[in-house]
Amino acid sequence: MSNRIAFLGCGSMNEAILSGLLGSGTDPADVVATVRRAERAAELAERHHGITAIAGDEEPDNNRQAAKGSGVVILGVKPVGIADLAREISASLSPKTIVVSVAAAVTLAQLEAALPAGQPVIRTMPNTPAKLGRGVVSVSAGSNCSPEQLQRAKDIFKAAGTVVEVPEEQVDAVSAISGSGPAYAFYLAEAMAAAGVELGLEHDLALLLARETVAGAGFMLAEPGADPSALRISVSSPNGTTERAIATFNERGLPAIIAAGARAAADRAAEISRQLG
């Protein structure tokens, strides 16, 4: 099977995966990316030397060109555009080409219906730390995907981080925790920086403290076997300052607020799936 991997719709998410892949030693000559605009294609080609980036405003059949001869194609446009993109490339796929979607809310059934009968399809839910090889991605195989084809996709995504296999019914929950989750961590950093300013720190200093703290805590969480509760307790002296802060978060219902946000994200994914029919 061809080693070439095509990233169709190379925006934030697909570029993050592409970066992770190149960072782990994939030959850029085996990577092709498509986008809408020529400026974005030039930016990608400059940032990732040796890949091929094709813009639709210069070459309207860019997606078909990229799909043709690729062993794996990764669909990375917004959910509403996935089925059209799948139909557009259908005639350019070999029956063995593995079609991977990173889109929230687009089901395996919707993907399979837009592709030639029998096409192997995998639905994934990645996240943007893939850019640093620190993403986490779920994979769910469609009915035509062989164990070897699923393994090939897992091997690609391993380069971008941790791979978990989940039944498709769980993808909306995965999306609500790890797909969207980096935004929750960034939101926490924003709120901490704002709190620092409220306590009298200069904005730049407050932002530096918040960024380095969330990043540093992230590194600690990334150590093998890390336990968030144990790590939190190790910062919290009995009757000390941290304990007072955490008690205030609990009194104000922060865990329930986070659960409600995650529920809202999962519900929105289900709503989009229904809208896409």
Ligand X SMILES: NC(=O)C1=CN([C@@H]2O[C@H](COP(=O)(O)OP(=O)(O)OC[C@H]3O[C@@H](n4cnc5c(N)ncnc54)[C@H](O)[C@@H]3O)[C@@H](O)[C@H]2O)C=CC1
End-to-end C-alpha distance for the chain, whole angstroms:
33
Q: Should residue 56 be labelled a site residue for ligand X when binding is judged by CB under 6 A?
A: yes
Q: Should residue 9 be labelled a site residue for ligand X when binding is judged by CB under 6 A?
A: yes
Q: Should residue 12 be labelled a site residue for ligand X when binding is judged by CB under 6 A?
A: yes
Strand order in the sheet with 161-165: 52-55, 31-35, 5-8, 72-75, 98-101, 121-125, 135-141, 161-165
Are the C-beta atoms of 86 and 114 separated by less than 8 Å? yes
* Shortest CB 266 distance to ligand X, Å: 13
Closest residue to ligand X in the complex (CB): 11
Binder among 6, 180, 206, 207 for ligand A1CAB (CB under 6 A): 180
Binder among 104, 159, 193, 210 for ligand A1CAB (CB under 6 A): 104
Binder among 69, 81, 116, 261 for ligand X (CB under 6 A): 81
Q: Should residue 71 be labelled a site residue for ligand X when binding is judged by CB under 6 A?
A: no
Nearer CB in complex with ligand X: 11/116: 11
The binding track of 94-133 with respect to ligand X, each residue x by CB under 6 A or -, is: --------xxx--------------------xxxx-----
* Shortest CB 170 distance to ligand A1CAB, Å: 14
Q: How many residues bind ligand X (CB under 6 A)?
A: 26
Q: Should residue 179 be labelled a site residue for ligand A1CAB when binding is judged by CB under 6 A?
A: yes
Nearer CB in complex with ligand X: 89/206: 89
Are the C-beta atoms of 75 and 6 separated by less than 8 Å? no
Q: Should residue 77 be labelled a site residue for ligand X when binding is judged by CB under 6 A?
A: yes
Q: Should residue 265 be labelled a site residue for ligand X when binding is judged by CB under 6 A?
A: no
Pick one of ligand X, ligand A1CAB, none as the site partner of residue 133 (Cβ within 5 to 8 A by kind): none
Q: Enumerate binding residues for ligand X (CB under 6 A).
A: 8-13, 34-36, 40, 56, 63, 76-79, 81, 85, 102-104, 125-128, 179
Question: Binding residues for ligand A1CAB, per CB under 6 A?
Answer: 104, 175, 179-180
